[in-house]
């Protein structure tokens, strides 16, 4: 079975440019999460979707960040304009309908470098 | 505000030794405590998890010890192997309508031959 698929794996861009990260969750999973990982702050939850609807976006750092989930098999995280402090690894994770398992399935991440 | 505190930040253990990673929490609404393992260039993956009504859970060489009254839990890796070298995250999930998981800051484990 395919796991969570993220693209691009690596992105290098210049300050001020728009960045779009993409995620395809595991088929049948109804929850999707975007996390950001940095050395200083560890794993931070940015936003959570349930059944394609954003439920909690309190972790989105500022208005430059936005996320969408137009259907059950696709989500995007957009940063516009990007800044050097946005450099991090961004992970998408999905989770199945049975919340009792509590397991998050992570993609391999998108490493973003903003120069 | 860090809801799950993890220590140590890094750990070096000799092959065959015991690796111990500790975590503490304050929010009594947490109802599920997973540990995730992350290898370089990969996403975290669930290793083992425990619920607060159980004091210990063992899966192979990995054991979680849970102390509800002290609000602490720990991961023990017995007979540590070089292949265990990775970053380990403790985490906690809150009760409620969805699976909000809060992660600790991570422990980078290196097992030396």
Q: Which chain B residue has the Cα nearest residue A33?
A: B100
pLDDT confidence band for B96 (50 / 70 / 90)? low
CB-closest option in A45, A55, A102 to B49: A102
**Which candidate, A5, A58, A61, A57, places its Cα nearest to that of A29?**
A5
**CB-hemisphere CA count at 13 Å for A74?**
3
Look at B44 and A43 and tell me if their CB atoms are within 8 Å: yes
Does residue A26 carry a pLDDT above 90?
yes
Strands A10-13 and A110-114: parallel
pLDDT, residue A2, reads 83
Return the pLDDT at B38.
Answer: 97
Q: How many CA atoms lie within 13 A of B97 on its CB side?
A: 6
Mean pLDDT value across residues A38-63 = 91
Mean pLDDT for A93-107 is: 81
Contact A102 B43 (CB under 8 A): no
Do you know the residue count of chain A?
Answer: 115
């Amino acid at each position: 079975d395919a796991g969570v698929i993220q693209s691009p794996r690596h992105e290098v861009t210049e300050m001020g440019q728009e960045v779009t990260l993409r995620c395809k969750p595991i088929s049948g999973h109804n929850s999707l999460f975007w996390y950001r990982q940095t050395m200083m702050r560890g794993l931070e939850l940015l936003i959570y979707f349930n059944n394609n609807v954003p439920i909690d976006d309190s972790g989105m750092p500022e208005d430059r960040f936005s996320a969408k989930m137009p259907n059950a098999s696709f989500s995007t995280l957009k940063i516009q304009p990007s800044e050097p402090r946005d450099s991090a690894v961004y992970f998408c994770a999905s989770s199945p309908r049975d919340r009792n398992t509590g397991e998050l399935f992570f993609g391999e991440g998108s490493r973003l470098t903003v120069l | 505000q860090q809801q799950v505190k993890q220590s140590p930040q890094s750990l070096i253990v000799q092959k065959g030794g015991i690796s111990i990673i500790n975590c503490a929490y304050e929010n009594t609404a947490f109802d599920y405590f997973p540990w995730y393992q992350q290898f370089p260039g990969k996403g975290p993956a669930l290793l083992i998890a425990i619920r607060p009504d159980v004091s210990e859970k063992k899966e192979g060489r990995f054991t979680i010890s849970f102390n509800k009254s002290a609000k602490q839990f720990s991961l023990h890796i017995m007979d540590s192997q070089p292949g265990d070298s990775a970053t380990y995250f403790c985490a906690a999930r809150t009760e409620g309508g969805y699976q909000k998981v809060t992660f600790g800051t991570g422990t980078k484990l290196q097992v030396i031959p």
